[in-house]
Amino acid sequence: MKILITGGAGFVGARLAQRLLARGTLGGQRITQLVIADQAAAPAALLADARVQGRVGALLAQAEGLRDEAFDGVFHLASAVSGECEADFELGLRSNLDSTRALLDALRHRREQGAPPARLVFSSSVAVFGPDPAVPLPPVVADDTLPTPQTSYGTHKLICEQLIADYTRKGYLDGRAARLMTVTVRPGRPNGAASSFFSGIIREPLAGEASLCPVDATVSHPVTSVGNTVDGLIAVYEASREAFGGRTALNLPAINITVQRMLDALQAVAGPRVRERVRFERDERIAGIVANWPKGASAARAAKLGLKPEPNFEAIIEQYIADCRATNPAALKGLDA
């Protein structure tokens, strides 16, 4: 089978590609080709696999060329992130809405030429939820909580969820949307996402660097690991239509946790000296965005697929440390300082 991963050179996308190549199969079929499309080149280790083809460039520009390709499955992860969308409205529309519509139409074209419908998994976001005067935000958002996004990014994700549901209703593809919770701990440097600090307050102290937390310690949010996220995306792809439970999006599992509890876990795993590298310095722009995000989430439909959150946040930190020891020990130089 031939698989496409948009945004496949990114943190989650690259880990998904690694997992699929290691498995060798998806949905009981052997993976013969994996196409990684992104604005940046895929990691060299992925490109070294004979099954992998990397394509570099904006997805909107690549979409026309996808019209005549026979993809059996698609993981659509490519997206401009929350902070970028707030800073550049046109960028968000182009990267998130226009690119998704172009991709869906490429898959629709193949279907109209008589090909079987491709199965597509879309990475939506917890950002589709937000407070609204007419619909108060519950303490914990569920699969069936009414989405009322309060950012451009969340709005884009919700629109794409509905587009995919409608293309599925029309028989153009077999689409499923999974709402990702905030993934931590992301390696590398901070990106443009408003949620970037959820990784930074763990990653930078472990690397021996100071980190600023732009929100209050009482802020609560659902977070998860990259490993759990990848497991969720694959499970959603492999689920039967009946097991997935309809055309609407489902929440992936997460730990509902405060910033204070995250820092307590950091101290428990890495010690007080590492924890002391984090200090609070409020950023009103980021704090304002985060204030409109859910404080917690549940994932009943995902649980029926066998998915569950990590046991605690310490386990997420330990997973990150183990990954760094295997791939980038320098990222942990703060542990020995």
51-85 per-position pLDDT tens digit: 999 999 999 999 988 988 999 999 999 999 888 89
> 231-236: long-range contacts (C-beta < 8 A, 24 or more apart)?
231/307, 232/178, 232/180, 232/302, 232/307, 233/12, 233/16, 233/75, 233/121, 233/123, 233/178, 234/16, 234/19, 234/20, 234/26, 235/302, 235/305, 235/306, 235/307, 236/121, 236/176, 236/178, 236/305
The pair of three-digit structure tokens given for residue 74, joined into one six-digit string: 């698609």
E strand or H helix at 279: strand 278-280
Query: Picking from 48-52, 169-173, 191-195, which range would have the lowest pLDDT averaged per residue?
Result: 191-195
What is the rounded average pLDDT of the residues 254-278? 97
Burial group, residue 142, by CB count within 10 angstroms (0-12, 13-18, 19+): middle
Q: Which residue has the tokens 């950023």?
A: 283
For domain 194-221+255-296+311-335, which CATH number applies: 3.90.25.10, 3.40.640.10, 3.40.50.880, 3.90.1150.10?
A: 3.90.25.10
Contacts of 285 (CB under 8 A, 6+ apart): none
292-299: average pLDDT: 95
Two tokens, residue 161: 């969820």
Centre a 10 Å sphere on the Cβ of residue 241 and count the other Cβ atoms it contains: 12
For the chain, where do the domains classified as CATH 3.90.25.10 start and end? 194-221+255-296+311-335
- Is 167 annotated as catalytic? no
What confidence score (pLDDT) does residue 192 get?
66
Q: Is the pLDDT of residue 289 over 90?
A: no
Locate CATH 3.40.50.720 in the chain: 2-184+224-251
pLDDT of residue 262: 98
Is residue 167 within 8 A of residue 175, CB to CB? The reply is yes
Tokens representing 149 are 């996004």
CB proximity list for 288: less than 8 A, separation 6 or greater: none
- 163 sits in which H/E element: helix 152-169
- Name the band, by pLDDT with cuts 50, 70 and 90, for residue 188: confident
336: confidence class by pLDDT, cuts 50, 70, 90: confident
Is the confidence at residue 214, as pLDDT, over 70?
Answer: yes
Query: Is the pLDDT confidence value at 118 over 90?
Result: yes
CATH architecture of 2-184+224-251: 3-Layer(aba) Sandwich (3.40)
Point out the catalytic residue in the list 153, 167, 172, 320. 153
Q: Is-contact 223 160, C-beta < 8 A?
A: no
112-132: string of b/e by CB count within 10 Å (b at 16+)? eeeeebbbbbbbbbbbbbbee
Cis, bond preceding 185 (omega within 30 deg of 0): yes
The DSSP H or E segment spanning 55 is: strand 52-56
Question: Are the beta carbons of 184 and 206 closer than 8 angstroms?
Answer: no
pLDDT for 138-185, tens place per residue?
A: 999 999 999 999 999 999 999 999 999 999 999 999 999 999 999 999
Strands 255-258, 250-251: pairing kind = unpaired
Of 74-78, 132-136, 167-171, 300-304, give the lowest mean pLDDT range.
132-136
Report the pLDDT value the prediction gives residue 337, as an integer from 0 to 100.
60
pLDDT at 244 over 90: yes
Nearest to 119 by CA among 67, 75, 180, 178: 75
- The share of the chain scoring above pLDDT 90, in percent, equals 91
What's the farthest any 2 CA atoms get from each other in the chain? 62
DSSP 170-231: TTS-EEEEEEEPEE----SS--S-GGGHHHHHHHHHHTT--EEE-S-TT-EEEEE-HHHHHH
